[in-house]
Amino acid sequence: EPEVTQTPSHQVTQMGQEVILRCVPISNHLYFYWYRQILGQKVEFLVSFYNNEISEKSEIFDDQFSVERPDGSNFTLKIRSTKLEDSAMYFCAPRGSDGYNEQFFGPGTRLTVL
Amino acid sequence: KQEVTQIPAALSVPEGENLVLNCSFTDSAIYNLQWFRQDPGKGLTSLLLIQSSQREQTSGRLNASLDKSSGRSTLYIAASQPGDSATYLCAVISPSNTGKLIFGQGTTLQVKP
């Protein structure tokens, strides 16, 4: 299984603060996805990113969220002004050039908003 | 809109039993279906991927089947062990060009020694 790392593993922040979650995929990943899982709930799709632009986003992914791949390596998810309800596990899921084959997930970042 | 449902929500069995977890989806036009395992507070570990043209996939004691026309998949676990205790998630790739996964809520399995 291709190794994907996410940093930090756990982030605690105050409501209204900005957070940046990072994902470091391996070099042949072309498609990037962020998912989140609120405690006890389903894993939900947030956004997909291909060729340096968003290809699809869910209704959860509002103006408070943004994604980028600033250095061609790390893939980041930024939440501009965190809310209590943003507390969740955030998973990065990169995919290679083959679009629809097996999806692997990073270990996740646990975000706690106080 | 694609929706994925898993039943039962929770299952407790004695060690050694064979068991079946169920997954259903509302739109049969899927590209593939994937089963994951999630341990408490941890990430998602891929177990099996079934392409839309396939009927089943096997990995060790796990066997997953797919019936696209009826919108169903099952995950069969043979000779269950306490180490199998976890939440099992199924997810489908919806008919879009982005490859996103749509997840069910999961079945939490407890295998008692």
**Closest by CA position to B67, among listed B57, B81, B58, B56:** B56
B72: closest CA among B8, B6, B9, B19? B6
Query: How far B40 CA lies from chain A's nearest CA (Å)?
Result: 10
pLDDT reported for residue B50: 94
Asked if the bond preceding B113 is cis, omega within 30° of 0, the reply is no
pLDDT at site A38: 96
CA dihedral B95→A90→A67→B45, nearest 10 degrees, is -50
CB A44 within 8 Å of CB A108:
no
Instruction: Answer for the pair B99, A99: CB distance below 8 angstroms, yes or no.
Output: yes
Which residues in chain A have Cβ-Cβ distances shorter than 8 Å to B99? 31, 33, 48, 95, 99-100, 103
Which of B6, B32, B38, B100 to probe the A interface (max A CBs under 10 A)? B100
Q: What is the mean pLDDT of residues B35-50?
A: 95
For residue A34, give how far its alpha carbon lies from the nearest alpha carbon of chain B (Å). Answer: 9
Distance of CA A42 to the CA centre of its chain: 15
- The runs of H, that is alpha helices, within chain A are none
Contacts of A94 in chain B (CB under 8 A): none
Cα-based torsion angle of the residue sequence B78, B84, B85, B89 in order, rounded to the nearest 10 degrees: -80
pLDDT digits (tens, 9 = 90+) for B57-107: 999 999 999 999 999 999 999 999 999 999 999 999 976 668 899 999 999
Contact B27, B2 (CB under 8 A): yes
Q: State the Cα–Cα distance between residues A31 and A36, nearest whole angstrom.
A: 17
The position carrying tokens 């270990």 is A107
Q: A61 and chain B: CB distance < 8 Å anywhere?
A: no
E strands within B28-96?
32-38, 44-51, 56-59, 62-67, 72-77, 86-93
What is the per-residue pLDDT across A39-94, written as a single tens digit (0 to 9) for each? Answer: 999 999 999 998 888 999 999 999 999 999 877 778 999 999 999 999 999 999 98
Is B59 part of the contact surface with chain A (CB cutoff 8 Å)? no
Whole-angstrom Cα Rg for chain B? 14
Q: Are A55 and B98 a contacting pair at CB < 8 A? A: yes
A95, A105, A110, A111: which to substitute to probe chain B, counting the most B Cβ within 10 Å?
A105
